[in-house]
Amino acid sequence: MVTAGDVESATECVVQALLPAADADWGVRAGTIEWSCRTTAEHIGQAQLHWASQLAVGARTQYVRWSARAQELAPPAGVLDFVEAAGRILALVVRSSPAETRAFHPWGIGDPEGFAGMACVELLVHGQDLADGLGCSLEPPADLCNRVLARLFPHEPRRDDDPWLELRRLTGRAAGAPEAWKWRPTPLDEPWNPAPEPEPMPFVPLPAGG
């Protein structure tokens, strides 16, 4: 089971790994993705806060309409604070949410455990992107990676005994990655459609003047 404590552990793991680069140039590319390190770090924080909002109100059809970002002139250390604060806020919401809480994600209606698992993936995988770009080392706990794989990727066959390598492979960052991938936010004992038609949008556009 993936828990709020795992979100806290993943947050701590990433923050501690990146602290040595707090004075570096975060405008460089984050690993193999197209974003800069600053944009990637900001994305991590935004995802955690969006998911905290989803669980807090039990939003079932779309994302809560708000946005968050680090201050424009915040130094890298300030952006890292944003990541840490967002992870800890989500952990608090996961911990206080009843198990029967359900909330929208484009890849399925998730429960608190599902959102905790997604948070761990965002933190660890994008944390590795940042570590690659900034020359840092990130080594997440193997047992945490195993729990995340079991919860979010039960539909994907395992190819390696190294859970951290498997997590990176299944998110497109190691050899043998699937052509397309999705994690499963929906509880394992509930129906889940990995390919709904049409694909849901993260945000439902507001009409003009609305």
103 beta partners: 110
- Work out the number of other CB atoms within 10 angstroms of the CB of residue 92: 15
Return the amino acid letter for 83: V
Look at the pTM and tell me if it is higher than 0.75: yes
CA dihedral for 95, 96, 102, 103, sign (positive or negative): negative
Tell me, letter by letter, the H, E, C secondary structure of 155-199: CCCCCCCCHHHHHHHHCCCCCCCCCCCCCCCCCCCCCCCCCCCCC
- The per-residue pLDDT for 17 is 98
- The per-residue pLDDT for 207 is 61
Tell me, letter by letter, the H, E, C secondary structure of 44-93: HHHHHHHHHHHHHHCCCCCCCCCCCCCCCCCCHHHHHHHHHHHHHHHHHH
Architecture of the domain whose range is 4-139: Up-down Bundle (1.20)
In 3D space, the residue among 164, 189, 200, 198 whose CA is nearest the CA of residue 1 turns out to be 189
Per-position pLDDT tens, the chain of length 210: 999 999 999 999 999 999 999 999 999 999 999 999 999 999 999 999 999 999 999 999 999 999 899 999 999 999 999 999 999 999 999 999 999 999 999 999 999 999 999 999 999 999 999 999 999 999 999 999 999 999 999 999 999 899 999 999 999 999 999 988 999 999 999 999 998 888 888 876 666 544
In 3D space, the residue among 195, 145, 189 whose CA is nearest the CA of residue 170 turns out to be 145
- The per-residue pLDDT for 36 is 98
Question: Scanning the structure block, which residue is given the tokens 């299944």?
Answer: 170
- The per-residue pLDDT for 202 is 81
**Distance in angstroms (rounded) separating the CA atoms of residues 30 and 130:** 5
